[in-house]
Amino acid sequence: MDITLDSNVLVYAFVPPIHKNEVKRKEWEYLHIKARKIYENVIREKHCLILPFAVIMEVASVISLLTGKEEYGKDTALEIEDCAKIVLFDSDIKERALDYAIKIKAGGFDNLIAITSILYGTTLITNDKPFYNKLLQFTDEYQFDVKLFRDLNLANLEL
């Protein structure tokens, strides 16, 4: 299956629980396990990962911030880039991007993620509920799928 992962899902895959609050730590641990399983399926080539480069940059930045380890953020980003089947740059999607962006009306970064999913017909997985809700109305028209990460069933994660 072809998938596009939002940066929040990839951050969960690479950063183990860090919260001091026990409830938040347990929630993060559950999301970390789910995200790790999805990413491991990418490594095993059960899923084909298609991303805009902006996601890779965001992951590097957020992981460096959360862990305080700049090299870990950079190494993670390079690993994701190596595992992705397709990494799109802005110039790769610019011809059609404006048409989609003015209809979707998401933030610039979210638009890049959505447009990547639309152009390649992937399943977009995000943990951003407002973004997810915004995209639901476009799935039939643009023939792509969107899943809310936190609602994915761990036992059924083959998607």
- Whole-number pLDDT of residue 97: 80
Class of domain 2-156: alpha beta
Model confidence, pTM: 0.93
Domain locations along the chain: 2-156
- Whole-number pLDDT of residue 153: 85
Q: For the chain, what is the HEC assignment?
A: CEEEECHHHHHHHHCCCCCCCHHHHHHHHHHHHHHHHHHHHHHCCCCEEEEEHHHHHHHHHHHHHHHCCHHHHHHHHHHHHHHCCEEECHHHHHHHHHHHHHHHCCCHHHHHHHHHHHHHCCEEEECCHHHHHHHHCCHHHHCCEEEEHHHCCHHHCCC
Q: What is the mean pLDDT of each run of 10 residues along the chain (159 residues)?
A: 97 92 92 96 96 96 96 97 92 79 86 94 96 96 95 71
